[in-house]
Structure 1
Amino acid sequence: MAAVVVISDTIVRPETSEDGSERVKTIHLTPWDLFFLRTEYSQRALIFPKPDQETHIISQLKSSLSVALKIFYPFAGRLVKNHNQDDETASFFVDCDGGSGVKFVHAAAKTVSVSDVLEPGYEYWSEFFPSNGVESWQGVSEPLLAFQVTELKDGVFIGYGVNHLVADGASFWSFFKTWTEICSTGFDRKTMPPLSLRPWFLDGVDYPIQLPISLTASSPVGGVVSSLQKKIFRFTSRDISELKAQANGEVFCSDEDRKISSFQAVLAHMWRSIIRNSGLNPEEVIHCKLAMDMRQRVNPPMDKECFGNMVGLVTATTTAGEMLNNELGWAALQLNKTVRSQTNEEFKRVCENWVKNPEIPNGLVVNNSLVVASSPRFNVFGHDFGWGKPIAVRAGPGIAGHGKILVYPGTEQGSMEIHTSLWSHVLEKLLADEEFLQHVVCMC
């Protein structure tokens, strides 16, 4: 018997009113948007405490969501695909003018507790999410944003799926913050500035960008994922401080720009530990791919709050042998150098080369790579619909492979949570690695 029962499946549209505001009708897609064309919707969840019985959460959520969509109107649009039969190419853009709305599923799992869904390997996990198996190119018919609100025995599970072509994590959490504030405290339109949309970046590139038709739909994904396991690790503020001090002490760098950050130290510890327990040949090339916010790195810099997808995927590369023959500070410095190399010129060069020879991956992570997404800067635990702040944040189901890492702030001040997907045999060794466990706590 299924754990989750769907009560309703509806579309929530932006609130309509004549306020004189001008809206962009069409959003053209950049190389860093189209890179995600064949990846699944990003699915995540926040788990909240149960509100009192007098709170009508579904009607409150829907009405406040409608107001939030009036501001963040691109989420209510749809993807449009144009097929050019003359040369078998296709192009995409986001149509913001239709007001098609977002998906809103109301469900119940009244016999399921918060502790049940937080158990590792919970059997019915995928039933709590609204966009299972949906890829970004399917936004031509699927809503660009979907929510599923599931009432638990002692809590509320809010799962979502978002199309990465239209927004990145920074834009989504900005939207979510606005939604929670509208729901909990009401809304004064005069206090909210109009949405700042990301401007087009590459001069001299014709858009919409024409892609070979073969790249514009899904293709079979190889690899076996049945032996993958997910695990969450917590780094306390003390653990992070110790790792940062160790890494910077080993680097001996007086240049402030080259100082190892807390995030780089934690990630280096994860990277070295995973490689140490992966059994790779010393000559094997390994990668750590980081999703970076490029808003302030392009020239001229964009507004920090501008809406859209501004994620660049950057890669630190070395060999397994070189990684293990060096200390934590060396590994952290490779990440630091990679981050600092992402200048406006480099980003532009990569994008221009991509337009000439586009590649769109399917999203499965390979054995020799870590792919790091999300950010400890996202204030995921600061959101409150009026029933209390979240109990936990979790990643949803989707195509994943060995080496997928999601980073979030922890529930405790200054802490971090690292959500991992790893081969079972690697994880087993990692959980017995005393050097790794010295600075981390396994949550579940």
Structure 2
Amino acid sequence: MVHIVVISDTIVRPENYEDGSEQVKIHLTPWDLSFLRTEYAQRALIFPQPNPGTHLISQLKSSLSAALKIFYPFAGRLVKIDNEDDGTKSFIIDCDGSGVKFVHASAKTVSVRDVLEPANGTVPDYWSEFFPANGVQSWEGVSKPLIAFQVTELKDGVFIGYGYNHLVADGTSFWSFFKTWTEIFSTGFDRKSFPPLPLCGWFLDGIDYPIQIPISETVPSSHAGLVAPSLPHLEKKIFRFTSAHISKLKAKANDEVVGYGEDLKISSFQAVLGHMWQSIIRNSDLNPEEVIHCKLAMDIRQRLNPPVKKNCFGNMIGLAATTTTTREMLDNGLGWVALQLNKTVRSQTNEELRKFADNWVKSPKIPNRLVANNSLVVAGSPRFNVFGNDFGWGKPIAFRGGPGIAGHGKILAYPGTEKGSMEIHTSLWSHVLDKLLADQEFLQHVIAVSCTPADCSL
């Protein structure tokens, strides 16, 4: 039996924080508030074992404290405001220095190989114990830390699991923070050598803030994310695309786009995502007239006019939806599918984004979950510098997704360990996954890595 022992559970605050100092308050946008009912994004990096004598936990805490002095919004709390004049609610982030959760745990009977190559290909039942924010939803940030870490010492490595509130940051901001943390740890850089944190700021002219939300939209749903017993069970699998796979798919998609009379360039990610989406639909036994969607989380920083800074801190994620039917999907080739994704991305202009925000403020709707049975929902990015983070004892061995709301069609896209490669983490109905794994047209462009139960991973 595997035992994961929690050695300590503490709060780490920004260094030199003084109570009563001037506090920054961050107003939330429609894109932020859309995540109010979602669970914390939980992920993990697995590192090699540090050299003996490394004061691992104390150094991680002290460098984290220094990093939080720079990335101070993570150390704040969500504040709920009661608008008594009309009975609505509002939310802001108060950067009050309350601190972040830091758990130190030990699993000395577990090896890195046990984690990456589990018995029978399924993640063990103790998987969720590696993560510090299981079941925590964004609205709970009023009392819970906005980011949490768990450092678990393995037999031959270190497992760093984390979970963060999407109201305060997106993946771009998180990885910027994590990179700063590793640099402070490994080099001892004084925080003064880092430039001040640029906040994305409030950029929606003509919209009053904080945004007022009907109480009905702020009440947490007791059944959000639950799957009915009558539905088939979900399974997870990681698919790895090598640089050679990606090059072939990209070339194929671009050749076919020319045949459709389009003078456009399909990106590597659009080609890979098009291949995944079309293959999943081909093996889903859907009605030909079924309307299907691919919802892609995308960075909107440079799509606004004027654009906000590329490195500004915050949550700047919009959800762009490509819509078609099963028949259209299957009657056309990869190039056509990738082209629809390309057109959707290009349609997210400054005008469309501001129109969405203006309409949302007039009638706020906060979904209980972002995953639907007829949709793919794609998060993450193969552009994140996941493997460029080194605390000084070696770069990450692997990236993994953590527990959280799961549903058919949930996709995580991240860079692979090899240069130019890409990993697609999927959550699918088991019968769809079984057919996908027997689909030679799909498999010729991808390597299947591991299969995991839906309630344990991603």
* TM-score calculated relative to the size of structure 1: 0.96
Stretch deviating more after TM superposition (407-416 or 119-128): 119-128
Number of the residue aligned with 2:180? 178
Aligned to 1:79: 78
Alignment partner, residue 211 of structure 1: 213
**Is the Cα–Cα contact under 8 Å of residues 364 and 400 in structure 1 kept in the other structure?**
no
1:319 aligns with 2:319: no
**Residue 121 (structure 1) shift:** 2.3
Compute the displacement of 1:84 (Å): 2.4
The letter of the residue matching 1:328 is L
Which residue number in structure 1 is paired with residue 115 of structure 2?
A: 117
Of 359, 372, 380 in structure 2, the residue corresponding to residue 366 of structure 1 is 372
Asked if structure 2 preserves the Cα contact closer than 8 Å seen for 1:91 and 1:209, the reply is yes
- Tell me, yes or no, if the aligned pair for 2:106 and 2:154 is still in contact at 8 Å: yes
* 8 Å Cα contact 2:2/2:107 also seen in 1: no
The counterpart of 1:298, out of the listed 291, 296, 304, is 304
Letter of the 2:380 partner, please give it: S
Match of 2:101 among 100, 103, 124: 103
Q: How has the CA–CA distance of structure 1 residues 423 and 253 changed in structure 2, closer, same or farther, with 3 Å as cutoff?
A: same
The 8 Å contact of residues 289 and 372 in structure 1, kept in 2 or not, is answered as yes
More displaced stretch, 252-261 vs 296-305: 252-261
Paired residue for 1:418, among 419, 424, 448?
A: 424
Once the two structures are superposed, what CA deviation does each residue of 1:310-358 show, in whole Å capped at 9, x if it has no partner? 0000100000110000000000000000000010000000111111111
The DSSP-based 3-state class of the residue aligned with 1:211 is coil
Of 335, 356, 381, the residue aligned with 1:350 is 356
Deviation at 1:217, TM superposition (A): 3.0
Change (3 A) 1:257 1:300: farther
Sort the Cα spacing of 1:49 and 1:256 in 2 relative to 1 into closer, same or farther, 3 A.
farther
After TM superposition, give the deviation of residue 3 of structure 1 in Å.
Answer: 2.7
**CA–CA distance in 2 between the matches of 1:162 and 1:55?**
27
Aligned to 1:334: 340
Partner of 1:66: 65
Offset of residue 164 of structure 1: 0.1
Distance in 2 of aligned mates of 1:200 and 1:254: 41
CA contact (8 A) 1:108 1:152 kept: yes
Q: What is the Cα deviation at residue 189 of structure 1? A: 3.4
Say whether residues 1:239 and 2:241 are aligned partners. Answer: no
Q: Distance in 2 between matches of 1:12 and 1:190?
A: 19
Query: In 2, are the aligned partners of 1:297 and 1:343 still within 8 Å (CA)?
Result: yes
Q: Deviations over 1:206-264 (max 9, x none)?
A: 11101011211320224337711110000000000000000000010799982100000
Judged with a 3 Å threshold, the aligned counterparts in structure 2 of structure 1 residues 23 and 272 are, in CA distance, closer, same or farther, namely farther
In structure 2, the partner of 1:137 is 139
Aligned residues of 1:91 and 1:210 also touching (Cα < 8 A): yes
In structure 1, C-alpha distance between the alignment counterparts of 2:136 and 2:144, rounded to whole Å: 8
Task: After superposition, give the CA deviation of every residue in 1:264-305 in whole Å (9 maximum; x if it has no partner).
Answer: 000000000000000000000000000010010101011110
1:9 and 2:9 matched: yes
On the 8 A contact 2:240/2:416 being kept in 1, the answer is yes
Structure 2 residue aligned with 1:32:
31
What residue ranges of structure 2 are gaps of 5+ in the alignment?
451-458
Tell me the residue number matched to 2:404: 398
Gapped regions of structure 1 (runs ≥ 5): none
Task: Tell me if structure 1 keeps the 8 A contact 2:70–2:191.
Answer: no
1:443 partner SS: strand
| 3-state secondary structure, aligned to 1:318 | strand
1:92 matched residue in structure 2: 91
What does the per-residue CA deviation read over 1:38-88, in whole Å, with 9 as the maximum and x for residues that have no partner? 000000000001112211110110000000000000000000001224432
Alpha carbon RMSD of aligned pairs, Å?
1.7
What's 1:263 paired with?
Answer: 269
Contact 1:137 1:217 (C-alpha < 8 Å) held by counterparts? no
Using the alignment, how far apart are the partners of 1:253 and 1:246 within structure 2? 11
1:80 to 1:261, Cα distance in 2 relative to 1, 3 A: same
2:227 equivalent to 1:223: yes
In structure 1, C-alpha distance between the alignment counterparts of 2:124 and 2:425, rounded to whole Å: 16
**Residue in 2 aligned with 1:389?**
395
Matched-pair contact (CA < 8 Å) for 1:113–1:154: yes
Give the fraction of aligned pairs with identical amino acids, expressed as a percent.
75
Q: Residue type of the partner of 1:10?
A: T
- 8 Å CA contact 1:363–1:400 kept in 2: the answer is no
Measure the CA separation in 1 of the matches of 2:2 and 2:384: 33
Distance 1:79 1:173 in 2: 21
SS at match of 2:145: coil
* SS class of match (2:301): coil
Change (3 A) 1:255 1:376: farther
What is the identity, as a one-letter code, of the residue corresponding to 1:263?
F
May I ask how many residue pairs the two structures share in their alignment?
Answer: 440
Structure 1 counterpart of 2:227, one-letter code: G
SS in 2 for 1:432: coil
Distance 2:23 2:340 in 1: 41
Matching residue within 443, 446, 456 for 1:440? 446
| Residues 364 and 399, structure 1, Cα contact 8 Å, conserved in 2 | no
Q: C-alpha distance in 1, partners of 2:168/2:442?
A: 38
